[in-house]
Chains A and B, each alone.
Chain A
Amino acid sequence: MSLGFVMLCHSNLDRAAQVARHWAEHDCPLVIHVDAKVPATEFAGFQQALSDLKNVQFTPRLRCEWGTWSLVQATKIAAKQLLKNFPKLGHVYLTSGSCLTLRPVSELQTYLRAHPQTDFIESVTTQDVQWTVGGLNEERFIYRFPFSWKRNRKLFDRYVALQRFFGLRRKIPKGLTPHLGSQWWCLTRQTLTAILTDPDAEVFDRYFKRVWIPDESYFQSLARRYAIHIESRSLTLSKFDFQGKPHVFYDDHLRLLRRSDCFLARKIWHKADLLYQTFLYQEQIESFKTEPAPGKIDRVFAKAVERRTRGRPGLYMHSRFPNWDWENGKTAVEYSVFHGFSELFEDFDHWLARRSNAQVHGHLFAPERAEFAGGDPIAKGGLSESATLRDYNPEAFLAALIWNARSERQVFQFSARDRQKITPFIASDSNARIHVITGAWALSLFKSNRNFDEIRNEAAVLQRNEVEFISELRALYARAQVKIWSLTEFLEYPIENLAEAVAHLPSATGPMHLETVPRMVQFKGFAKFLQNLKNQGMRAHVVGDFPSDDMELMSIKPASVRPYVVR
């Protein structure tokens, strides 16, 4: 007999009784404190269930409330009783009614015998703590907390704010350095008696009565005064979520718990029959590892917290609908937009699709329909080509397209002729890589062979659309990676510029190189066309200063004019 337990229970006493019996039958005495809120009949049943065990005792019942001194008080009473009545104990372990042992009791006993002078208690200074919730680390120790957080949240918060405002601070008793840690500890008789019989105990108790969540700091701080050797970790596996509430273990955690090699775990769901059955009643396989290794479980729960707080970027669903600019990534992965390229180069999207490993769509936002890659009427995830459906919520359309195909890079064409509602979204999306040739729309008008007054009106609309798009891209909130050429600038070094624009796309053999180039449209008469537009009062300024002679364009290459880079 070298190990004894103090057990705090407040609900699901049937499970607590099973666990208590398990320990008692393995020669570990227990002193159990049951919350006074538990009905007397239930308590009587619980006592009855354990009445055949000589080494199980009960303390008088106190009313316990989470986060208050009552829990420490109950622990102290129970610990005193345990030490007094079982004088041969070497270690005292504090557990709750929803803890479960994961390894044979004999292994825990052996482990503690091998560490006779070690106190296993997580105990870290307030500066090192990251897990407390609500920002109350140091403040737990310097303010007073007379109001219940669970019942009087408003009063609690206001009183803290008041103390902050007036700079009221409590004096921390001499000889005490505040430490925090998991409330489930295992202390040596020596340390525990020193804490319980400290001549200054009254001072400390008075102080801790008004500290916030003293069960996470009372023993953790005082142990530092007396312990010979502190191992600052808990032998009980206990993980907390982002609200500061313990994660619960279920039947499907069995394998994880087994492999953790921890001695105890908290908190077990009271109906996890398989876990209780396995760890209490089945012959446990002797594990050869001696040290607990909760790394794998840590990762599972860290991931859960990450999912709850940061979520999956680019996902919009019924439990994740972030406010504008709180998306943590408007879309899931990077994608490319080519604006004006399909007007300048014949069959640009097919050429690009052949050259790269990306999925290259046509004009996704064309007024007639969404031009999916390969002319499909439907895209991954069930996105329809219907323009009405797409324009009903273009942001959802694009975000879904990128999310659905997040393993493959998406590329699409855009132009001033397309539906423009999407532009603020892509301009503010850091995943968008946008290459723009301004004024390329004039080429398709030039080819269109329509009535000139129609063309003139259309040109005005397209130019306005494009100017608006460009100003979105240059806006303060824009986060897309953008490269803009005017048509004239682009044509000065068309091949180099094209190579630059497509260089980032993945291809089967490393970065893309241009071995073939797509065919450019014919320019003969384009300068004249622009002049005609101008004569009609419509100056296509986004085209740039297009030379009046078509032949001149390809020959003059002034070195000073280089494409400019925005961002």
Chain B
Amino acid sequence: MTALSRYRLRLQRKRFLLRAWRKSRALKPVENRTGHIRPRDILCFATIRNEMARLPYFLEYYRDRGIQHFLFVDNDSDDGTRAYLAAQKDCSVWTCAESYKRARFGMDWLNHLLGKYGHGHWCLTVDCDEFLVYPFVDTRPINALTDWLEASSIKSFGTMLLDMYPKGPVGAFSYAPGCDPFEKSCWFDSGNYMIQKNPSFGNLWIQGGPRARVFFADDPKSAPALNKIPLVRWQRGYAYASSTHMLLPRGLNLVYDEWGGEKTSGILLHAKFTDTFQNKAQEEVQRREHFANSKEYRAYLAALDTDQGPNFWMQFSEKFINWRQLEILGLMSKGNWA
């Protein structure tokens, strides 16, 4: 890494920060309770749009793990999401009618909020269909993890997005608001992931899983990235570069060991494939507000063989039990946290 390329990354980071500031002017506070945030609180940041069905379980899941405050950017919802969140005592909500895509898929808004309210806190940045599983998640709250990370001088915590799907066509199961989406969407691919290193940002680029297998078998390069770094001890000046896949400064992307050992890591269970998925895919293709002109969603629609949606299930699908199972399968690691 030459001095020149380091300097380029620095400029890029500054550009992200400037963008975040510029785009933040479109954010209108709906309910700002950030005054209640205490110094050691763990915060959750998310951009959402019409997520009334998922939010109750999302909030419940993360409250149980020990998240103390949620900061949402609502991208022009029209299903009551905004009012619902504004009524929650531990949520702060901003709204924004501008283009999700032009705000780098919401990242500009979140970078701004992270810099403003997240400084010095452990911040979890997720979508509302992503559920963090870390080692000992069933017996230790999330601040046990962050305390340990901090004592080990670790600033960021790496995960992989694990696509969960039901047995049978995705559309055949209805999802009742407030329920655990993984009650039915409890299957996953355990061992078909492909990793490359991104030389400029230093992060890993992971692809694979059911989406690559079913939708992108002929065009693997376009398969969605699964590497995510959602949990960071935020400092002013940090910036997410592309979704939560990578950050700047690049040292934060080194969540993996290069000399044979395993660092402590987790999984983001991805509850994307429920019956709402199909409507969402259709809507997103029309809005063209997602990555690469919603190429991902178009691939999904093209692959829908029945009106019930795609069926990801196969004979080697694994049924989710707990984090220990994921650890044994090699999808996450305790590292030296025991």
B331: A residues at CB distance < 8 A: 317
Residue of A nearest to B217 (CB): A386
Q: Chain B: how many interface residues by the 8 Å CB criterion?
A: 60
A327 in contact with B160 (CB, 8 Å):
no
B191 in contact with A380 (CB, 8 Å):
yes
Interface residues of A in 298-352 (CB under 8 A from B): 300-301, 303-305, 307-312, 315-323, 326-328
B191: A residues at CB distance < 8 A: 380-383, 400, 403-404
A166 within 8 A of B: no
A328: B residues at CB distance < 8 A: 260
Separation in Å of the B248 CB from the closest CB of chain A?
19
Separation in Å of the A303 CB from the closest CB of chain B?
7
B136: A residues at CB distance < 8 A: 250, 252
Contact of A245 among B151, B212, B213 (CB under 8 A): B151
B210 within 8 A of A: yes
A483 within 8 A of B: no
Residue of B nearest to A379 (CB): B316
Separation in Å of the B301 CB from the closest CB of chain A?
20
**Looking at the complex, which of A2-10, A13-21, A222-230, A387-395 is the stretch in contact with chain B?**
A387-395
> Helix, strand, loop or mixed for chain B's interface?
loop
Residue of A nearest to B264 (CB): A319
Separation in Å of the B155 CB from the closest CB of chain A?
15
A378 in contact with B314 (CB, 8 Å):
yes
A317: B residues at CB distance < 8 A: 160, 193, 195, 256, 262, 265, 330-333
B192 in contact with A383 (CB, 8 Å):
yes
Interface centre among A307, A317, A381 (most CB of B within 10 A): A317
Interface centre among B190, B197, B219, B227 (most CB of A within 10 A): B190
A311: B residues at CB distance < 8 A: 257, 260-262, 333
A303: B residues at CB distance < 8 A: 338
Residue of B nearest to A385 (CB): B217
Tell me whether A322 and B189 are in contact in the complex, defined as CB-CB below 8 angstroms, given that A316-B195, A386-B217, A392-B220 are known contacts. no
Tell me whether A319 and B255 are in contact in the complex, defined as CB-CB below 8 angstroms, given that A326-B260, A380-B191 are known contacts. yes
Give the CA-CA distance A403 to B191 in the complex, in Å.
8
A46 within 8 A of B: no
**Looking at the complex, which of B2-10, B142-150, B277-285 is the stretch in contact with chain A?**
B142-150
Separation in Å of the A309 CB from the closest CB of chain B?
5
**Complex interface bits, B197-217 against A, C-beta within 8 A gives 1, otherwise 0:** 100000010101110110011
Give the CA-CA distance A305 to B197 in the complex, in Å.
25
Tell me whether A388 and B220 are in contact in the complex, defined as CB-CB below 8 angstroms, given that A311-B260, A312-B262, A318-B195 are known contacts. yes
A403: B residues at CB distance < 8 A: 191, 330
Contact of A269 among B144, B160, B333, B335 (CB under 8 A): B144
B336 in contact with A307 (CB, 8 Å):
yes
A396 within 8 A of B: yes
B256: A residues at CB distance < 8 A: 317-321
Give the CA-CA distance A243 to B257 in the complex, in Å.
14
Residue of B nearest to A313 (CB): B260
Tell me whether A250 and B144 are in contact in the complex, defined as CB-CB below 8 angstroms, given that A320-B257, A320-B263 are known contacts. yes
A384 within 8 A of B: yes
Separation in Å of the B319 CB from the closest CB of chain A?
13
B317 within 8 A of A: yes
A388: B residues at CB distance < 8 A: 217-220
B221 within 8 A of A: yes
B262 in contact with A320 (CB, 8 Å):
yes
A319 in contact with B335 (CB, 8 Å):
yes
Separation in Å of the B245 CB from the closest CB of chain A?
11
B141 within 8 A of A: yes
B220 in contact with A382 (CB, 8 Å):
no
Give the CA-CA distance A131 to B208 in the complex, in Å.
40
Interface residues of A in 242-272 (CB under 8 A from B): 242-243, 245, 247-248, 250-252, 269, 271
Interface residues of B in 100-130 (CB under 8 A from A): none
Give me the interface of A with B, judged by CB distance under 8 Å: 241-243, 245, 247-248, 250-252, 269, 271, 300-301, 303-305, 307-312, 315-323, 326-328, 378-384, 386, 388-389, 392-393, 396-397, 400, 403-404
8 nearest CB pairs, A to B:
A381-B191, A319-B265, A308-B336, A382-B189, A304-B338, A392-B220, A404-B191, A386-B217
A/B interface sample: 21 pairs, CB < 8 A: A251-B139, A252-B136, A304-B334, A305-B336, A307-B262, A307-B333, A317-B160, A317-B256, A317-B331, A321-B195, A321-B204, A378-B316, A379-B316, A382-B191, A382-B210, A386-B217, A388-B219, A388-B220, A392-B221, A400-B191, A400-B193
Give me the interface of B with A, judged by CB distance under 8 Å: 136, 139-141, 143-144, 147-148, 151-152, 158-160, 189-197, 204, 206, 208-210, 212-213, 216-221, 227, 255-265, 314-317, 330-338
